[in-house]
Structure formats: C-alpha cells, structure tokens
Amino acid sequence: MALAALLMPVGAIGDRWGRKPVLLCGLAVFAVGNLVAALATAPQLLIVGRVVAGAGAAMVMPVTLSVITASFPEEARGRAVGVWAGFAGAGGIIGLLASAVIIDDVTWPWLFAIPVALAVVAGLLAVAVVPNSHERGRGRFDTTGSILSVLAIGGLVLGIHEGPERGWSNILTLTGLAIGIIALVGFIVRELRTAHPLLDVRVFANRALSSGILALATVFGIMFGIFLTLMQFMQAVLGFSAVRGAVGLLPMALVMMTLSPIAPKASQRLGLRTMLVGGALLVGAGLVVMAEMVDTSSYWSIVPGLMLTALGLAATMTPATTAITGSLSRGQQGVASALNDTSREIGGAIGIALMGSIFNAQYRTGISAVAATLDPSQGKLVKDGIAGAAEVAQGLGRDGQPIITAARQALVDAWAGSMWVGAALALTAAALVIALSLGTKGRHDMAADVVLGDEPADNTDSATVICHEPALASVGASAGNGREY
C-alpha cells in the first residue's frame, strides 16, 4: 500500500526538486526500512519496517525511469527504457529465486539484510553516475491532489488485496474500496479545476497513453497471477522445492531481459497498436497452452507456454512504457514514470485478486467432496489449501494418500482455470486496445497524439507531438503570434 499510494506525489516531487536527491533519499529510506524488518522481534515491528521500505521504494521506482527518459538522447532512449522494462519485469522472478535460496539455506532476516547492502551499492553508483535533473516554473505543488491520489490508490489496492482473503462483503474490503472510489472521483474533479494539477487527467484522451496503461496493467496482473499460482503448481504437483520452482521461472526472465531492449525498434516498424495487441495475444496463447497441457508430471510440458507468455510480456512492456512516458512532457517525466509504476501495481493487485480468487474457489470446489468425509477441523484444513491437505494426509498415514491425490488434482484443475481467466484478460485487453485505436489512419496508429508541454519562461504556449517516426512530426512556428508548436 505504501509503495502504490505514494508513487504519484513522489514522482512529481522528483520533477520539481531534483530526481537524483529523491533517488538517494529513497534508497536511504528503503535501507532503513529493511534494516528494521531484519532486526524485528515482533510482527508489528516487521510490518512497520515493510511500510517504511515501501515508502522508500515509492521514491526510487518512478525516479529511475524518469532519470532515463530525461537524461538519454532520443536515439538511445528507447533501448534504455527497454533495458529498464526488461529488468523491471524479470526482477520479480529473480527476487523469488533469491528469496527461496535464502529461506532454504540461511535464515529469514537475511531476506531484508541483503537489500540493505544492495541499496548502499545502488546509492554509491547513483552518486557517481546519475545526473541530476529537475524542472522549474511549474507553479504551486498540488498538495490536495497528492493527498487524494494517496487515498485513491491506497484504498483501491487495500480493497482489491483484501477481497479474496476476507471476502468482498467484509467491512475492511468495502471501506478500502469506498475510500478509493470517493477519493478517485475527488481527484479527477480537483485535477480538472486546478491551474497546476499533479496529473492533468485530460491526458487520458491520448490514445497511446491509455492503451499503454491498459496493456501494462493487464500483463503485469497476469504475470503476478502466474507467480502466485504457478509456484504452487510446481511445488505441490511437480514436487519442486521453492528454489527449483523459482529456477523453473528463469526462462521467462531471460526472454524478457533479452527481448525487451529490441522491442522499441519493432514498435517503430510495426506500430504501437500492433505491438500491444500482438503482445497481449501471445500472452493469452501462452496461458492457453499451459492450461491445456496433458502431462502434469513433467516441467517441460509447461515450458512452451511459459516461452510464449514471456515473449508476449517482452513485446508489450517496453512499447507500453514508452507510450506512457512519451505522452507527457519532459517536465512531467516523474509523474509519467509514477503513472507507469502505478499501472503495474494496480494491475498486479487485480491480477492476484482475480486469478487468485478463481484458483482458490476452484480448488475448494474440487476438494469439497473429500473434505466432507473428514471431521470438521480436518476438512477445513484440506479446503484451506494444498499445504493443509498434505498435513492431514501425513497424519493419517497410508489412509491419507487418497486425500493428497485428490488435492493435487483439485489444484491442477484450479490452476488451469486461473490460466483461462488470465487468457480472457489478455484477449479483453487486446480488444480494448483495438477499440481505442479505431478512427486512426495509416500504419502508424496512435502515433501523433498531442500532449500539452511545459510553459516556457517567455510565457509562450508550447506543445509536444508524440510521433513514432520523426518524419511524421512537423515543427514550425506561426509568425507574429508568440506561439510555438
């Protein structure tokens, strides 16, 4: 919640008062939060440490991307964003593997101690090589809009996360969703009326930006949902350890890190719409392949689906990120980067909630007949998940074998159901991107949406034309009227 809720205002602070100082401060806060978590002796202190680390991460994440978009020349920016996007996507898989190794071979506090060292190294590198950049003359900071954005994103993420666990009618779930929706409406009204908004919501009329947000939220939701369900499948059905399960996801990371940097060139040739739609369809196809696999005893039966999914993710992430950052002016790159990261966070929350809910519901349905034959306490454990079923089966000895067999089959069916839900999400996203691009002409769909730029020092009006090919952009000035385009 701290991470997702603070992204937008912190991104704007970096734009105004310096991206490098915010990056260094964020790394320091992140290190302190992880140190508190590593030394925690009670759950409450651990949670405090995680909240502080989340706030630090909110200072780091948008600034890393805005430093790239503000510092790299245009001819190198696409590849730089591609490298960033590839590691942003693969980072979750690398984190799973590192965490599994630490849990298996060391002790849990090292999960938080190692990021402290990494933050120190990143801080030293940032001091040495990261240039500082900021934008002046942007008017008064939108404090009210910032508070409303924190409440909107924080409330929505809270409600979406708690719904599958506590129930969608639970008071905490409903309160989070209500606060989020009310604050979101207030944020939109505020941003439309203020002279210096945190985020001019009119930019969502830009079809490239809206398509990028939609595609990015969808693919990250699917990716997070895959992490949640696939790890359980590999451990409970294939018998993998946590480390081996994480290693099983590494091919996805390698594909994303390898192909994301070259995605911008493909986008220039094929067009943004083709890349976003094609990427979403590849993701959906990969999930269908995994859902329909026949051999549930072999890891290699899911590799083709994993590769297709990873290829689709690589084809989508970089063009979507470029569309979002390219749709806002240079002076709003921190906000653009925060918008990019917020899309990922909300998409991830929705993906976990939706795919996780389907996964849990289908598992409980599949195992309910077996659970009904046990006493209530054992039946509850079996229905709670595969770990509970294994515990009950172990306690019953040989008589417990049918229970674990039924639980594994229920989990396989549930996992396939969650893959089909993910495929439906990908197909829906592809259809919506096509719908957003209706009415555009030519091969370079969604290529020339216009966004408002910063107000120059001489008070002339300015605008930035977002275009896939420089030849399509016309730059000129109308004589005598003081306006520059």
- Assign 388 a pLDDT band (cuts: 50, 70, 90): confident
Q: Point out the least confidently predicted range of 67-71, 98-102, 392-396.
A: 67-71
How much is the pLDDT for 468?
40
Q: Point out the least confidently predicted range of 87-101, 380-394, 438-452, 464-478.
A: 464-478
Q: Is 70 helix (H, G, I), strand (E, B) or coil?
A: helix
Check pLDDT > 70 for residue 450: no
The long-range contacts involving 109-117, CB below 8 angstroms and separated by at least 24 positions, are 109/37, 109/38, 109/39, 109/40, 110/38, 111/38, 112/34, 112/35, 112/37, 112/38, 112/49, 112/53, 113/34, 113/35, 113/38, 115/30, 115/31, 115/34, 115/53, 116/31, 116/34, 116/35, 116/38
- Assign 378 a pLDDT band (cuts: 50, 70, 90): confident
What CA–CA distances, in Å, run from 335 to 3, 63, 67, 112, 340? 15, 9, 12, 29, 9
Residues 6+ apart with CB under 8 A from 261: 79, 82, 83, 86, 318
The stretch 142-161 carries a mean pLDDT of 91
Higher pLDDT, 165 or 123: 123
Two structure tokens written together for 327: 């749709």
- Assign 331 a pLDDT band (cuts: 50, 70, 90): low
Report pTM.
0.78
Check pLDDT > 80 for residue 334: no
Q: Which domains does the chain have, with CATH numbers?
A: 1-139 (1.20.1250.20), 199-323+336-444 (1.20.1250.20), 448-485 (no CATH)
How much is the pLDDT for 480?
39
Higher pLDDT, 353 or 137: 353
Asked whether the beta carbons of 274 and 265 are under 8 A apart, the reply is: no
Check pLDDT > 80 for residue 426: yes
- Assign 48 a pLDDT band (cuts: 50, 70, 90): very high
Two structure tokens written together for 145: 């809009």
Q: Point out the least confidently predicted range of 126-140, 350-364, 451-465.
A: 451-465
Check pLDDT > 80 for residue 291: yes
- Assign 50 a pLDDT band (cuts: 50, 70, 90): very high
Check pLDDT > 90 for residue 444: no
The mean predicted confidence, pLDDT, of the chain is 83
Chain-centroid distance, C-alpha 70:
22
Calculate what percentage of the chain has a pLDDT beyond 90: 29
How much is the pLDDT for 449?
42
How much is the pLDDT for 473?
38
Give me the half-sphere count of Cα atoms (radius 13 Å) on the Cβ side of residue 177: 15
The stretch 371-397 carries a mean pLDDT of 86
How much is the pLDDT for 138?
62
Distance, CA of 141 to CA of 138 (rounded, Å): 8
The stretch 77-100 carries a mean pLDDT of 83
In three-state form (DSSP H/G/I as H, E/B as E, the rest C), the secondary structure along 234-298 is: HHHCCCCCHHHHHHHHHHHHHHHHHHHHHHHHHHHHHCHHHHHHHHHHHHHHHHHHHHCCCCCCC
- Assign 427 a pLDDT band (cuts: 50, 70, 90): very high
Nearest to 178 by CA among 156, 205, 204: 156
How much is the pLDDT for 295?
65
Higher pLDDT, 331 or 319: 319
Q: Point out the least confidently predicted range of 76-90, 103-117, 174-188.
A: 76-90
Q: Point out the least confidently predicted range of 108-112, 181-185, 347-351.
A: 347-351
How much is the pLDDT for 443?
40
How much is the pLDDT for 25?
95
Distance, CA of 294 to CA of 161 (rounded, Å): 32
Higher pLDDT, 463 or 124: 124
Distance, CA of 466 to CA of 187 (rounded, Å): 26
